[in-house]
Amino acid sequence: MSGSGYGADVAIASAFAEMAPEERVRWRVADVPNRPSPAERNLDIPFPFGWFPALLSSELKLGQVKPLRYFGRDLVAWRGHDGMARMLDAHCRHLGAHMGYGGRVSGNHLDCPFHAWRYDGEGVVHEIPYAEQIPQSLRKPCERQWPVVEANRLIWFWFHPLGEAPMWEVEVFPETSDPRWTDYDIFEWRVFGSLQNMAENAVDVAHFQFVHGTATFPTSEMIWDGFRRTSIIEAGLDTPGGRKPIRIEARMNGPGQTATRFSGVAETLLVAAVTPVEKDEVRVRFCFTQPKEQADPLAQMVAQGFIHEVCRQLDQDKVIWDRQRYLPRPIICDGDGPILRFRKYYSQFYVDETPERHAAAS
């Protein structure tokens, strides 16, 4: 791949040149007004299934209730006094109150703020304080279940459009429970686009030059393994101490769990919390952790440089993603990277595939 013609001053990079750092932080989560409808951008397609992050573990304290909005649905999460996080559809089965606003935790159950019906984590009503009898249908779990697990300092929930049970497990990264690694350094965005388009970016090798201004893109080894996808890049990094080997291992465990391990000169783990809110909105939080004792000042500098570079690239990609359409039948040329292979991998996470999408993926 030629690196000529595009340096750091690519068109999108220059859009940020005038922005103060605080302004950029605000820009990352600001609304993009006057967007065309999801249908017009061809984003009105089913959501993929998988495990997705809902909250940081630290955001849901014992006995706390939080309203959530993901996958175009209102949800409620709470943490019982047994320490377990639970999630339900937000609207009460009685008269439809949103239980995320004013709901209260009682033991491990959730009391609706309107008439205090008491729910367990499967949506079974255990108590109606003013009634002698609980109607039969309320003694059964809700049809829509939200399995929840906690791992990597995050609360994960399983989403499946037809409500099917989890098909794989959340991958656990040992660094996240190692006290020698730092608390997460968190960066946040709202991306007004499709989750699939965002994920595809990692294999879209040609855009690195034009959007990110990177002169060359090191070749990576890609492993496609069922629900998992791994790419490994081994490259050299020029440092004041000479050229040093680095390794970047990026992992996808379904559409909702991605993580990147950066190692060699310095260690950094990026755990990405990327969850659809609506058909055209994705909540993104990049959580970085590093060893508290990075080997030396050079390693510190390289690790900080990695974080800075990842965030810079996300800012640039966001400009594209916020306005991008989803094209089920893209026209691909040589040099584009394994985009069609990626689509084939990704298509396994949709239950409601149209013939066009299968054609595009095969």
- Closest separation between CB of residue 117 and ligand FES, Å? 4
Binding partner of 201, given Fe ion, ligand FES, none, CB within 5-8 angstroms per partner class: Fe ion
Site for Fe ion in 325-354 (CB under 5 A): none
Nearest approach in angstroms of CB 113 to ligand FES is 7
Position 94 contacts ligand FES (CB under 6 A): yes
Q: Name which of 148, 180, 131, 140 is nearest 52 in CA terms.
A: 148
Select the binding partner of residue 94 from Fe ion, ligand FES, none (C-beta < 5 to 8 A, by kind): ligand FES
CA atoms within a 13 Å half-sphere pointing along the CA-CB vector of 264: 20
Distances 94 to 75, 85, 101 between C-alpha atoms, Å: 16, 23, 16
CA distance 102 to 216: 53
CB of 204 to Fe ion, least distance (A): 7
Contact residue for ligand FES among 62, 95, 223, 351 (CB under 6 A): 95
- Does residue 105 touch ligand FES according to CB under 6 A? no
201 near Fe ion, judged by CB under 5 A: yes
**CA-wise closest residue to 314 among 176, 202, 154:** 202
On whether the CB atoms of residues 193 and 282 are closer than 8 A, the answer is: yes
Stretch that binds ligand FES, among 87-95, 198-206, 226-234, 268-276 (CB under 6 A): 87-95
Q: Using alpha carbons, list the distances in angstroms from residue 288 to 13, 28, 118, 153, 181.
A: 23, 17, 38, 12, 10
> How many other β-carbons are positioned within 10 Å of the β-carbon of residue 202?
17
- Amino acid residing at 359: A
Determine the Cα–Cα distance for residues 128 and 130; give it in Å rounded to an integer.
6
CB of 201 to Fe ion, least distance (A): 4
Contacted entry of ligand FES, Fe ion, none for residue 69, CB cut-off 5 to 8 Å set by kind: none
Q: Which range, of 176-184, 197-205, 216-224, 271-279, touches Fe ion by CB under 5 A? A: 197-205
Q: Which is nearer to ligand FES, 97 or 235 (CB)?
A: 97
Which CA distances in Å does 127 have to 9, 64, 99, 123, 136?
Answer: 63, 20, 15, 12, 12
Count of residues in contact with ligand FES, rule CB under 6 A: 8
**What residue ranges in the chain does DSSP mark as E strands?**
50-56, 65-70, 73-79, 85-89, 104-106, 109-111, 118-119, 125-127, 148-151, 154-159, 185-191, 220-225, 228-239, 242-253, 257-263, 268-278, 281-289
Window of 39-47, 108-116, 157-165, 172-180 that interacts with ligand FES by CB under 6 A: 108-116
Task: Give the shortest CB-140-to-ligand FES separation in angstroms.
Answer: 17
Alpha-carbon gap, residue 353 to 358, rounded angstroms: 7
User: Taking CB under 6 A as the rule, which mask of x and - marks residues 117-146 in contact with ligand FES?
Assistant: x-----------------------------
For ligand FES, which residue of 114, 168, 224, 227 counts as binding (CB under 6 A)? 114
Residue from 281, 317, 324, 326 binding Fe ion (CB under 5 A) = 317
Which stretch, 111-119, 193-201, 245-253, 351-359, contacts ligand FES (CB under 6 A)?
A: 111-119
Summarize as ranges the residues that interact with Fe ion (CB under 5 A).
201, 317
Summarize as ranges the residues that interact with ligand FES (CB under 6 A).
92, 94-95, 97, 112, 114-115, 117
